[in-house]
Amino acid sequence: MSAIILFMAVIAVIAGWWLSQQRLMAKPWLEEGGIGDFPGTGAMTWPAAKIGLGVFLAVAGSLFALFTSAYSMRMNMVDWRAMPVPALLWFNTGVLVLSSVALQWAYVATRRDNMNGVIVGLCAGGASAVTFLVGQLLAWQQLRAAGYFVASNPANSFFYMITAAHGLHLMGGLVALGRTTAKVWRGAEMAQLRLSVELCTIYWHFLLLVWLVLLGLLTGWTDDFVDICRRLLS
């Protein structure tokens, strides 16, 4: 369970830092009156959607950290046979990086009021994300053709399950991206677009980060790291 403990520790540090800014040492029973007396302790000024996305990323992060924990515990059993990683995954990873870059491009374009840049960025980001998903399906197909079925070994089972979970999150992201693109299509003002594009970009970067960690796990690169964590905890 080292991955999830590590993740929780990060969340605890963030939450602790935020709480430390909130005057938890105050004596509210002595502080009657003046609503402007305590600057910075009112409601957060970020848009609700942005805070909501932040909280959701913590939930999704917890989910993937738990998958990672389960993976690292299960891989210790004697029946574990590591699976060859299809070369296609490297292509898919590249495409996902491109997708993230394209959305970053769109985000920068919203800051510069460049509507064409936004359109190009959103379309390129969406297209490469769809390409990534198709690539993942092809990778599944290749593995099945090579005889690596979902139930033939736990390593395979984890591969299919974790890539499916990641893919489903990306599909959810594509729905949001589609709605944002539809807004552009309907001729929305840049001010209305800025937040939606920013949220999509943050989510895409998050999913890229998750994918890189998962890839490290599935290819066995992080085995040494997992081993060190396990030794630390035992």
Residue (87 or 171) nearer to another protein, CB: 171
Query: Which positions touch another protein (CB under 8 A)?
Result: 1, 4-5, 8, 11-12, 15, 19, 22-29, 31-36, 38, 41-46, 48-49, 51-52, 55-56, 58-59, 62-63, 66-67, 69-70, 73-74, 77-80, 150-151, 154, 157, 161, 165, 234
**Smallest separation (angstroms) from another protein to the CB of 228:** 19
**Smallest separation (angstroms) from another protein to the CB of 95:** 26
Residue (52 or 94) nearer to another protein, CB: 52
Residue (116 or 147) nearer to another protein, CB: 147
**Smallest separation (angstroms) from another protein to the CB of 12:** 6
Amino acid letter at 177? L
**Smallest separation (angstroms) from another protein to the CB of 13:** 11
Burial of 194 (0-12, 13-18, 19+ CB in 10 A): middle
Phi and psi of 114, rounded to 5°?
A: -105, 95
Angle at 209 between CA 10 and CA 221, to 5 degrees: 95
- Which of 50, 87, 8 minimizes the C-alpha distance to 202? 50
Residue (59 or 145) nearer to another protein, CB: 59
- Residue 209 host element (H or E): helix 190-219
**Smallest separation (angstroms) from another protein to the CB of 212:** 20
Checking 112-118 for CB contacts under 8 A at 24+ apart, the result is: 113/190, 115/184, 115/190, 118/184, 118/190, 118/193, 118/197
